[in-house]
Chain A
Amino acid sequence: MKNYDKLLHDLAPQKFGKKGVIWTISLVVLIVLGIIAYIDQIIRGQMVTNMNDYALWGVYISNFVFFVATSFVGTVAVAVLRLTNNNWRTPIVRIAEIIAVAAIIMAGITIMIDMGRPDRLLNLFIHGRMQSPITWDVIIIPTAMMVCLLLLYFPLLPDFGLLHKHYEDKKPKLSKWYGRLSLNWTGSDAQKALQHKSIQIIAILIIPVGFMLQTIDAWLFSTLYRVGWDSTNLGAYFISGASVAGIGALVCVVYVLQKVYKLEDYITDLHFDKLGKFLVLVCLIYLYFNLNEYLIPQLTSKKGSTTHINVLFKGEYAPLFWFVTIGGLIIPVIVLLFKQGRKPLPMFLIGLLVVAGSWWKRYLIVTPTLLHPFLPIQGVPESWHHYFPSMHEWLITIGTLAMALLIITVLVRYVPIVPIQKTADEQEELQLNKITKS
């Protein structure tokens, strides 16, 4: 018989301790502040931001791109590892799915914050036109959201069934909820076959959907004439960048959950080691596309490109650019090449660096390009030559980041973060192997 008792004891969702409660309350406070700032923005108009007719997009858009990129973890860590039969993925896939769900939901919300007339949102459906890349986004984001949700939900069914039984006596109300969510899971062969097939379809589906999402996100920029965006490289550039952002975020969340939930038996050094190698791989791919994106235009040195790249290499945005490139890509690659660097704590620190780098990277993709249009900036207030987010923009942006973390927090509170049924099955298989061998 399978050893469910120990597994359930270890892996069933746990009540938050004091730290968890403080964490959740702080997130709620940040979200409330963000909502207040947003309401003020609706009342007074977007003049409360520091955007202007030149820097016409700002931190809202770069934050949106960051969320879209992070949601790619669902594709890269779940589907790709599944297709390549990497069995070590079991204890971390659900965390990746949770991050993907939180990120894609927040991507959908943040893009609306940037709209000058959010009250006319329905116009996108009433008057939508297929030729606009925004319409492509309107189609792909809800699609990706559904696929991410299902990819999280289908594998959860047996676990919900187990939890339904587990809490039957102790917490009948909670048990009822798990029962409903499990869709009457009994574990029969027919159910198992159906679930297995569904997961397989979704896990394959999320690959083209994820690629489309990142590519459309890139095309929002590369379909425009602006120097720095008008690049055939941008789709692949965004996909590889999204892998970096997604796995960086995954490393951070995995580390925190391992420590908080004491999951050292399930999430081991081996997992960090594997994740570390994976992160190096995607960082190297992203570095390669960065070379394409920056060095080739610099070599042919067309006038517009040179201006743009000099601003990044040694101008106003140089400190940020080198932080993002060296801190967010080169240092992680170097550190993670060493075995010691792939231990949990250094991995966590590197993960934080990668996520911060990824966030600012999107800022660098959006802002400097807009500040170097084809015609010179003249006849507008001096402040329009520069852009840095206003207090309102920071409050709202931090609010959205807090909301993403809150979604993750709520999910890890009520959902078993390491798949119980799957772990049990794998343990059983291991036992059987041992018996047959001896």
Chain B
Amino acid sequence: MKNNNTDSRRKFLDKGLKLGLITAIGAVGLTKIASKLTAQTDKNSGDKMELMTTDGTIVVVDSSEVMEMEHAGKIDKYDVREGMPNRKFVMVIDLAKCTNELKCQSSCNTNHFVTGDHSWLKVYKMQEDTDTAPYWMPTTCMHCDQPACVTVCPVDATFKRRDGLVLIDTERCIGCRFCMAACPYSTRVFNWSEPNQGKIIMDMGDETNRPAAEYAGLPSIKGTVDKCDFCPHKIKENELPHCVTACPNGVFYFGDKYEDTVTNGEETLVLSKLLADKHGYRLMEGLGTKPNVYYLPPVDRLGDFEEGLERYTEFKSVDKPK
């Protein structure tokens, strides 16, 4: 009874702030009347419920006082440009474990129907200088917090979401390729011709026969830009992106910055501790793009660099069907 009253008052305060003082004064009376009305209906219900309050004490309330509320984490319906509420996606790539197996790349290519000459996920053969050791470096879109591509897009076709993802509205893109020139990580690919992806099997969102919000950017369209999307369609199903699950060495960790947790499917780690312990870094930090992909330096390696060389193809990243 008392709880209900404070609840309504809180509601009134919320609204009162918006509607102004005069409305608020009137509302005090109304709330009191309303609470009295609900109190009368309460008498008819006999079921009691045990609930825990925010300070940890158990209270018993009449079940009719319990209202169904919309869940904050519910992502059945969300604005594709806003993203998933209260999430901030992040990836950690452990260079010590990468041996250029390229399973991530082929899985990404298959699941995103990449048909051009340029995959979204690449494994670079890197060597900073002649006197430093070479290593394999997988790259995805960095999903920057200060994305240069988004700044320069003239039509808001590529956009930054609150959950950290940078995505592309291929229905809007005009194909000026300014975003590609802006991206210092060369991560964006262009559909120079008809993508020819065959039949794409995916969850069509509604009767309009257009892909669900999670599939922003698919299918590919001639004359527009594509790139790694951090697999929002997998995240929605509470699953990990394709590259994470495909990697046999557990190189990729995916997670949520707000939860400070990342997982590669086998082990789940505390993000801040992992980055601090293993000296995590981001690519081209000096540019100020603030990527959401972190790298762990290639120390205490899992395998030899040379092992990966036999799988290295300098001029190919997408397997074409013969």
Contacts and interface: CB of A to CB of B under 8 A. Distances in A.
Given A116-B224, A124-B154, A380-B118, A375 B175 contact: no
A47 B193 contact: yes
A370 B224 CA distance: 19
A382 to B, nearest CB: 5
A124 B284 contact: no
A120 interface: yes
Interface residues of B, number: 47
A379 B155 contact: no
A216 to B, nearest CB: 13
B178 A116 contact: no
Contacts of A129: 153-156
Contact of B191 (A45, A135, A379): A45
Nearest to A226: B181
A375 B193 contact: no
A46 B177 CA distance: 12
Contacts of B125: 376, 378
A380 B315 contact: yes
A134 interface: yes
Interface string B72-92: 000000000000000000000
Contact of A224 (B118, B119, B182, B224): B182
Interface in B274-288: 284, 287
B151 interface: yes
Interface string A360-391: 00000000001001111111111010000000
Contact of A116 (B124, B176, B316): B176
Interface in A50-71: 51-54, 56-57
Interface in A94-117: 114-117
A132 interface: yes
Contact of B122 (A51, A121, A379): A379
B194 A117 contact: no
Nearest to B192: A47
Contact of A115 (B118, B176, B186, B188): B176
A57 B181 contact: yes
A29 interface: no
B141 interface: no
Interface string A37-53: 00000001111010111
B172 A123 contact: yes
A134 B192 contact: no
Contacts of B118: 53, 379-380
B178 A132 contact: yes
Contacts of A46: 175, 190, 192-193, 223
Contacts of B148: 224-225
Interface in B120-149: 122-126, 139, 148
Contact of A138 (B154, B193, B287, B317): B154
Contact of A127 (B119, B123, B156, B284): B156
Contact of A53 (B184, B189, B224, B313): B189
A419 to B, nearest CB: 40
Contacts of B182: 223-225
Nearest to A54: B186
B173 interface: yes
Contact of A128 (B119, B152, B155): B155
Given A117-B174, A133-B152, A45 B223 contact: yes
A438 interface: no
Given A44-B193, A45-B222, A135-B154, A56 B315 contact: no
A188 interface: no
B144 to A, nearest CB: 12
A131 B186 contact: no
A364 to B, nearest CB: 16
A387 to B, nearest CB: 13
B180 A53 contact: yes
A202 B260 CA distance: 61
Max chain A C-beta neighbours (<10 A), residue from B117, B122, B186: B186
A114 to B, nearest CB: 7
Given A51-B192, A224-B152, A375-B124, A116 B175 contact: yes
Contact of A132 (B119, B152, B314): B152
Contacts of A135: 154
A303 B181 CA distance: 20
A335 B65 CA distance: 95
B258 interface: no
A56 B190 contact: yes
Contact of B151 (A52, A127, A128, A131): A131
A56 B174 contact: no
A47 B194 CA distance: 9
Nearest to B102: A379
Given A46-B192, A133-B152, A224-B148, A378 B314 contact: yes
Given A56-B180, A375-B185, A132 B153 contact: yes
A116 B220 CA distance: 13
A384 B317 CA distance: 13
A128 B181 contact: no
B154 A134 contact: yes
A379 B174 contact: no
Contacts of B139: 375
A124 to B, nearest CB: 6
Interface of B: 117-119, 122-126, 139, 148, 151-157, 172-178, 180-182, 184-186, 188-194, 222-224, 284, 287, 313-317
Q: Which 9 A-B pairs have the closest CB atoms?
A: A116-B175, A116-B223, A379-B317, A134-B154, A47-B193, A132-B154, A45-B193, A127-B155, A47-B192
10 contacts: A45-B194, A46-B193, A47-B193, A57-B181, A116-B173, A132-B151, A224-B182, A226-B184, A378-B314, A384-B117
Given A45-B194, A127-B172, A225-B287, 12 more contacts: A44-B193, A47-B192, A56-B181, A116-B176, A116-B190, A123-B172, A128-B154, A129-B154, A223-B182, A224-B152, A226-B184, A378-B314
